[in-house]
Amino acid sequence: GAAPRRWLHRSLEALAVGLAALGSPLVLRRGEPSAVLAELAAETGAGAVLWNRRPDPAAEDADRRVAAALEARGVRGEGYDAALLFDPAAVRTKAGEPYRVFTPFWRACRALPEPYRPLRAPERLPAPPAPVRSDRLADWDLTDGADDGWTPGEAAARARLAGFLDGPVTRYAADRDIPSLDGTSRLSPHLHWGEIGPRQVWHAARHTADAHPERAPGIEAFLRELGWREFCQHQLRQAPDLAEKPLDLRFTAFPWREDPDLLSAWKHGRTGYPLVDAGMRQLLATGWMHNRVRMVVASFLVKDLLLPWQAGEAWFREALVDADPANNPANWQWVAGSGADAAPFFRIFNPVAQGEKFDPDGGYVRRWVPELAEMPEEWIHKPWQAPAPTLAAAGVRLGVTYPRPVVDHGLARQRALAAFSAIRGN
């Protein structure tokens, strides 16, 4: 997708600058990783190749091929779990099984020793003895030059973390659910792209809590969200097909619908439900969406439209700058009711009630659905119920300037519950 491609381009630009400051170039090549890295190791006389493991199955398979190719050339290859806080093998139930419920999982994590502190970055990184061939980043054609408001790179990640811990984290427990506020850390894309690690975030937050006790409650809530990320990562280690198959096998028989038109309306923020449409348009414009709204739009797709969660997971993977291969499918399965520690299927978010509770003045909707900008607060989350004079005064023509709802939420809720009842006994 365009947004993650732009992020990757800018992240590589920042990485090149950072490496150059240490004295070494960034080498870009395309091809089968095992062949490319074995060739590069031979060219540079490397004695070892080190990398951070990624939890998705394709990456793990690539890592195995890389290690075998290096071993065949007499080069040591070694992977590390720097993307995790805790060793999955150490977080087990008394029966030796992985946790399927978050609260006891997180309790078990907190009972372990603190994640170890990351090593300091080297102050110098000598360049290879001879120049090494590299592709030009511009030739990879990753970016269209659009500005989506993000600043990728390690320096930006550190600055964002520092700024968040310097004050906003104090209000995090309350502000993180209000999409019109900048109340979250927005570190998820930096974590996804490896520009900062969870252990760096952990220790910075713990240090801040020690130095500023008044921020401790917000930091504890923030660390719990970091723990949810960890929970998702551990899930993918246990279920490599997390993005394709439901953990709750009853959902393989769920009567999902196929409706390309409804799916397109959802993707492009044309459902007629303002909070849903605002979230989907924020995603298209920035490659990111507020977490509270992610839950609402996901519930709407799966339960109001009865479209499969895999379609939503695929769209988020295409459009999000932080579509982690573990977090994305695990959270979609959570909303669908088929995953670990899943919300019960009968927990169906009402998009109007969610808007009125978490966007009471309509500020979020007004920003991302400007055709409703003049609607009064009373009606902005349900314009189809507004009196005709109110619509006219706000310049809204339902079905023309803004769509009517694609489904009736009350009827859709009953339909979803009936569909779930059909599989409950399986």
User: In the predicted model, is pLDDT for residue 71 greater than 90?
Assistant: yes
What is the three-state SS of 95-127?
Answer: CCCCCCCHHHHHHHHHCCCCCCCCCCCCCCCCC
- Least Cα distance to 222 among 175, 270, 155 occurs for 175
- Report pLDDT digits (tens) over 17-28: 999 999 999 999
For the chain, the average pLDDT equals: 95
pLDDT at 14: 97
Superfamily of domain 2-88: HUPs (3.40.50.620)
**Token pair for 47:** 């004695």
pLDDT at 344: 84
For residue 402, the tally of other CB atoms under 10 A from its CB is: 21
Degrees, nearest 5: CA angle 400-405-406 = 105
Among residues of the chain, what percentage have pLDDT more than 90?
A: 91
Tell me the C-alpha distance between 280 and 403, whole Å: 14
User: In the predicted model, is pLDDT for residue 72 greater than 70?
Assistant: yes
pLDDT at 63: 93
- In the chain, residues under CATH classification 3.40.50.620 are 2-88
- Least Cα distance to 187 among 152, 217, 237 occurs for 152
CA gyration radius for the chain? Answer: 24
Cα-to-chain-centroid distance, residue 294: 10
Cβ(367)–Cβ(281) under 8 Å? no
- In the chain, residues under CATH classification 1.10.579.10 are 249-423
- Report pLDDT digits (tens) over 125-167: 999 989 999 999 999 999 887 788 899 999 999 999 999 999 9
Active-site residue numbers? 225, 228, 256, 291, 309, 332
- Report pLDDT digits (tens) over 353-368: 999 999 999 999 999 9
- Report pLDDT digits (tens) over 245-264: 999 999 999 999 999 999 99
- Total residues found in the chain within this entry: 426
Global pTM value: 0.94
In CATH terms, the fold of domain 249-423 is DNA Cyclobutane Dipyrimidine Photolyase, subunit A; domain 3 (1.10.579)
- In the chain, residues under CATH classification 1.25.40.80 are 89-123+154-227
Q: What string of DSSP letters covers 235-260? A: HHHH-TTTTTS-SSGGGGG------H
pLDDT at 198: 97
pLDDT at 425: 65
Domain spanning 89-123+154-227: CATH 3.40.50.2000 = no
Cβ(304)–Cβ(407) under 8 Å? yes
User: In the predicted model, is pLDDT for residue 346 greater than 90?
Assistant: no
User: In the predicted model, is pLDDT for residue 9 greater than 70?
Assistant: yes
pLDDT at 52: 92
- Report pLDDT digits (tens) over 367-391: 999 999 999 999 999 999 999 999 9
Cβ(237)–Cβ(84) under 8 Å? no
- Report pLDDT digits (tens) over 194-246: 999 999 999 999 999 999 999 999 999 999 999 999 999 999 999 999 999 99
Degrees, nearest 5: CA angle 240-243-142 = 105
Degrees, nearest 5: CA angle 244-53-239 = 25
Strand ranges inside 26-67, DSSP E: 48-52
Tell me the C-alpha distance between 414 and 4, whole Å: 37
- Report pLDDT digits (tens) over 26-58: 999 999 999 999 999 999 999 999 999 887 888
Residue 90: enclosing H or E segment and its boundaries? none
State which amino acid sits at residue 336. Answer: A
Q: What is the mean pLDDT of residues 298-321?
A: 98
Tell me the C-alpha distance between 84 and 254, whole Å: 33
User: In the predicted model, is pLDDT for residue 426 greater than 60?
Assistant: no
Q: What is the mean pLDDT of residues 101-118?
A: 96
